[in-house]
Structure 1
Amino acid sequence: MPDDAAKKTNGKIVTKETVQALSMWTQDALDKRVALIDGSREVSAPTAKAISRRLSENGAKTFTTVRSLPFLLSNEVLTYCERIRIYPFTARYREALKATSPDMNAAWQLHSNSLRQSEVYVIQERGKKLLGFAHQIAVELDIGTPARFMKFDARFNKKFERRLRDRHRVVHAHEKPSLTSRVTDMMITSDDTTSEDVQNHLMSLIFKMADMLPGEKTDDRQEIMKRLLDVPNMYAKIADEEAFDMINIFFEELKATLVKG
C-alpha cells in the first residue's frame, strides 16, 4: 500500500487513517491523469452507465464530466475500505454482548459463526465490482491498464478459501459441516439436560479443535484447556490480520488498474 497508508497502520490493524490515505491516493492518482486531458469533457455512455449502476439517478447527475471522476472513485474506495476496517468487529461483538438468557447466548454462538464468513464474501464481491468500475474509469481516462477484477477475485479466493468454503457449508445442507460448525451446532443444543454421551462427544470434538490450534501437539489436558481459553483473543487477532490482507490485495489490484507501469 502507499507509504502514507503503511505508516498509518497499527501493526497489522487497519486504521481509519489507513483507509483515508488509500482514498486520497486514489484521488491524487486520477487527478494527475485528468490534468493531462480535457477535464470538462462529458463522460462516455459506458462510463455513465457504470455510474448509474452505483448511484441513484439524482446522484449520478453530479458526475457527468471527466473532472468529477477522481472524487467519485476515491469516495467509493473510502466506503469499501471502511467496510474492511470494521470487518474484525465480527470477532469482537461478543465482548460487548451481555446475554440476557441462555437462548440469547445460544443464538449469538450460532449466528456469529456465519456472520464472519458472510462478511468475507460481501467484501470479496464488492471489491470485485469496485475494481471493475475502476477499470471503466481507467478506460475513460485513457490510462491503458488491464482489468484486474478477476485477478483480485482469484487472489481473494486463494487467501480466504477456508472461510469462503465454510460459508458454503453453512448455507448448503448437503455439505459436510466443518469441525467448527459441528461444535457450534452441538453447543447451542447442549444444556443441563443433555445426556452424558452427547456431552462426552462434544468434549471430544472440542479437544480435536485444540489440536488445530498453534503450538506443538500435546496430550496435556491442562495445556489444551489453556489454548482453548485463549481462542477468543486469537480469534480477534486473526480477524485483524485478515482485514490487513484484504486491504493489501485490494490496493495492489487497484494500483495496477489506475497506474500504468
Structure 2
Amino acid sequence: MNKDAYLPPSEVPQSAIDDFAERLHRHLQNLIPADFEAFGARVTAIVDDMVPPNARDTYRTPFYVIGLATFEVGNLGQKIRRYQFVERYKFFVDMPDTEIGMAFHEHCYEVRNAEFYGILERGEALIRFAAALAAELDSGDEKAPSKYTRNFRRKFVHRLRERHRRTHAHERPSLVSRMLQIGEIKTKEERQVLERFLRNTYSTVTAAFEAIQEKLQEDERIPSMRDPVTFQKWYLQRVDEEAATMWHLFTDALSAAVKMPNDTSGSSNCEATQKG
C-alpha cells in the first residue's frame, strides 16, 4: 500500500456527534412536564432490554432514561465515524508475507460490509426507542424507524447485498469476493489459470468502466487505476462519504422521531459531502 495515498478521515467529526447528542438530550428534557414521574410499560420494556437486570431499577426515572438514549446515540455515532478507519488499517500494517496480507485485506472487506448491517439494525432500534419516548410526551413520528430502514436499504443496497452474499453459501459470490479469495499461487499451472481468469475479468471490467465513465460529468469521473495514488485517495473520499451519508440518514430520522428541529448552524463537513 502506497503511504502517499493516505488521507485522514474527513467526515463525521467527534464534535458533530457530541453536538447532536447534546441537542437531543436538551430537546427531550424540555418535552418532560414538571409533574411527569415515569415512562410507561412500552418504554420500560425497551430499557429493560438495553441494561443489565441489576441496573433496571436505576433506569426508571426520566433523567436516566433520556441519558441512556443520548448515550447510545453517541455510541452509534462513534461506530459510524470509525467506519472510515477500517479502510485505512492497511496503511499502518506491514504484512510479513503475501498470504497474511491477502487474509487481512479480505477481513477488512468483511468488516466494512458487516458494519452497514450493524449500523442499520442499531440505528432502527434507537430511532424506535426515541419515537416511543416522544410518543409518551405527545411529540414524535412513529413512522420514522421504518422510513430510516427503507432509506438506508435503498442507499446501501449493494453493501447489504454483498454482506448477504458472503454470509450465505447459496449465494453466488461477487467479482470482488472472488478476487479476494484467490489463494497463494504455488505452481505454474495455477499461475496460468489465474492469468487467464484475470485477463478475461480485466477486459470485462474495463469495458463496463469505460461505459460508465462516458455517462459522467468530467468532475464525477473515477480516476484511472493506472495512477494508484490518485485512485486510492479518491476511494478513501468515497468511504468517508458513505460514513457521512449513514450519519445523516440516522440523525435526520431520529430528529423526525422526536420532532427535534434540524440544526441550521452547519456543524460538520457532512453537508458539503452530500451536496458535492
> TM-score, with normalisation over the residues of structure 2?
0.79
**One of 35, 38, 44 as aligned partner of 2:35:** 38
Range 196-205 or range 47-56, more displaced: 196-205
What is residue 78 of structure 1 aligned with on the other side?
74
Native 8 Å contact 1:179 1:209 kept in 2: no
What is residue 139 of structure 2 aligned with on the other side?
143
Residues in 1 aligned to 2:66 and 2:181: alpha-carbon distance in whole angstroms = 48
Residues in 2 aligned to 1:190 and 1:234: alpha-carbon distance in whole angstroms = 30
Native 8 Å contact 2:77 2:247 kept in 1: yes
What is residue 243 of structure 1 aligned with on the other side?
243
Q: CA deviation at 1:126?
A: 0.6
Aligned pairs, how many? 244
- The structure, 1 or 2, with the larger RCO (C-alpha pairs under 8 Å, 6+ apart) is 2
The answer as to 2:57 corresponding to 1:61 is yes
Residues in 2 aligned to 1:241 and 1:68: alpha-carbon distance in whole angstroms = 34
> TM-score, with normalisation over the residues of structure 1?
0.83
What is residue 102 of structure 2 aligned with on the other side?
106
Gaps of 5+ in 1: 1-9, 218-222
Residues in 1 aligned to 2:9 and 2:136: alpha-carbon distance in whole angstroms = 37
Q: CA deviation at 1:140?
A: 2.5
Residues in 2 aligned to 1:98 and 1:12: alpha-carbon distance in whole angstroms = 24
Give SS of 2:58's match.
coil
Q: CA deviation at 1:83?
A: 0.5
Native 8 Å contact 1:138 1:144 kept in 2: yes
What is residue 18 of structure 2 aligned with on the other side?
20
What is residue 121 of structure 2 aligned with on the other side?
125
The answer as to 2:209 corresponding to 1:184 is no
Native 8 Å contact 2:99 2:184 kept in 1: no
Residues in 2 aligned to 1:88 and 1:167: alpha-carbon distance in whole angstroms = 17
Range 130-139 or range 160-169, more displaced: 130-139
Residues in 2 aligned to 1:199 and 1:60: alpha-carbon distance in whole angstroms = 61
